[in-house]
Amino acid sequence: MTDQATMPTRRAADGRRRYAAIDLGASSGRVVVGEVAAGGLDIAEVHRFWNGPVRAPEGYRWDLLYLWREILTGLRQAAEQGPLVSIGIDSWAIDYGLLDHDGILLGNPWHHRDGRTSGLAERLDARIPADELYAINGLQRLPFTTLYQVMASRASSMWVAVDQLLLIPDLLTLWLTGRRGAERTNASTTGLLDATTGTWSQRVLDAIDAPASLLPELRDPGDVVGPLLPTVQQATGLGPDVLVTCVGSHDTASAVVGVPADDRASWAFIACGTWALAGVEIDAPVLSEQSRSANFTNEVGVDGTVRYLRNVMGLWVLSETQRTWEAQGRGVGLVDLLTQAESLPPGGPVIDIDDPSLLAPGDMQSRIEALCRAGGLRVPDSPGATVRCILDSLAAAFARTVAEAARVSGTDVDVIHLVGGGSQNRLLCRLTAQASGLPVFAGPVEATALGNVLVQARAHGDLEGSLADLRSVIRRTHELVRYEPS
């Protein structure tokens, strides 16, 4: 906990206490300020910036130096509005930076959509069988998971210079504070964490020929890391009393904190943005063969919960389709596309939205058409029909995933909470309710930033209680939209 004696220096003139959330998604980033007073919470975005894959000659990368500059800009703008208590960072999962023995970043991090990990999961099967690996890490089999990316990095001549691996939020925390660590909710997405013990797995590290020293000590949401480095203070105008606090640094972990669920009801979540993650919150991992066969993942949540979920391709397919049309000079605004899609009757083509062919950047419409032809389905004949195919396919995947998560984990589900950017898509929400046969509560859009700020505020004494208590704050302060199945 924070030294209470320092708190008054970080209280705004109106008595509110202010927290900054650095929230990095796979298509955009922003700095959000949350204000806490009298048990209530308001948030406001102070700076937003683009994010996405950059095609370098060797493959797809993240432009981390650009993101760092934009983060400092956002923090400077937050400082201009008043004092801050703390800063928390969340981002997409899996990707990382590699540091040399002097703590210097060895190049921009690889993007998980790059194809360099192709075939590595099958190669690892010869060293540690898939069922044994699942019994250890409890993760969905995804070809771009961190442990496969490490295998690809080891094949590079750069590996001899590598000292340590830091996931994206942990790397940015290092640049803010000078202190290394690995926040546990994000660490649980790497495939390198033991789902039972909550510690790094030496068995998995041995299987990929990686030393234990590659990974830093673990931290938990709510842990206070420390103050800002003098260089960061100078760049942002923030003072030495502003602290960096661990939150659920996997953005989905923060988003699930921000689900405004009433624990008197049994609920499932869909955190829908560029990626979508659908599942249920449970108390302990499910590591059965049935769970592995269903390809579900057990990720650590805040307060020791488990996010039992499966990745779904998400709105990436829609945004990449739009990008393709724009590049071809056939761009249509999203509002018009959704209007066209909503006007179409049900019964259109539904594809496997998680087909591997949809993972990489490129001409998404051609791939959708190919999947329709391969499945003997009607090929969409207009942009609106293509969008309807994408949304119908997403809704079907959401419904299927929630039903399987409930069945395999032994959890009842009465309602679905759909949070994140996808909650603004009324057609997607309506189709999800219809496909699942369950009411869908849409919102808040800002669930990730809200969850980030809630964990910080509790760590510093401005809120208290369990996750249910934190979620009740959101229910009191945010309006939800309910979609009924019909």
Residues designated catalytic: 251
CA distance 218 to 452: 18
Longest alpha-carbon distance in the chain: 69
Q: In terms of Cα–Cα distance, which of 321, 417, 445, 424 is closest to 23?
A: 445
Q: Are 275 and 114 in contact (CB under 8 A)?
A: no
Q: Tell me 485's DSSP state.
A: -
Both tokens assigned to 255: 């988003």
Quote the CA–CA distance of 387 and 342 in Å, as a whole number: 9
Rounded alpha-carbon distances, angstroms, from residue 148 to 21, 145, 189: 30, 6, 12
Distance separating alpha carbons of residues 46 and 21, to the nearest angstrom: 10
Element (H, E) at 31: strand 28-37
Where are the extended beta strands (E) located within 230-379? 243-245, 267-272, 276-282, 297-300, 306-312
Rounded-to-integer distance, Cα 260 and Cα 21, Å: 19
- Residue 41 and residue 54: Cα distance in Å, rounded? 36
CA geometry: angle 269, 47, 86, nearest 5 deg: 75
If one counts every other C-beta atom within 10 angstroms of the C-beta of residue 335, the result is 8
Q: Give the neighbor-by-neighbor strand order of the sheet with 17-24.
A: 40-50, 28-37, 17-24, 86-91, 243-245, 224-227
Q: Which two tokens stand for residue 151?
A: 């295998």
Contact 115, 71 (CB under 8 A): no
Helical spans, DSSP H, in 103-201: 120-125, 130-137, 146-154, 168-177, 184-187
**Could you tell me if 177 and 225 are in contact, meaning their C-beta atoms sit under 8 angstroms apart?**
yes
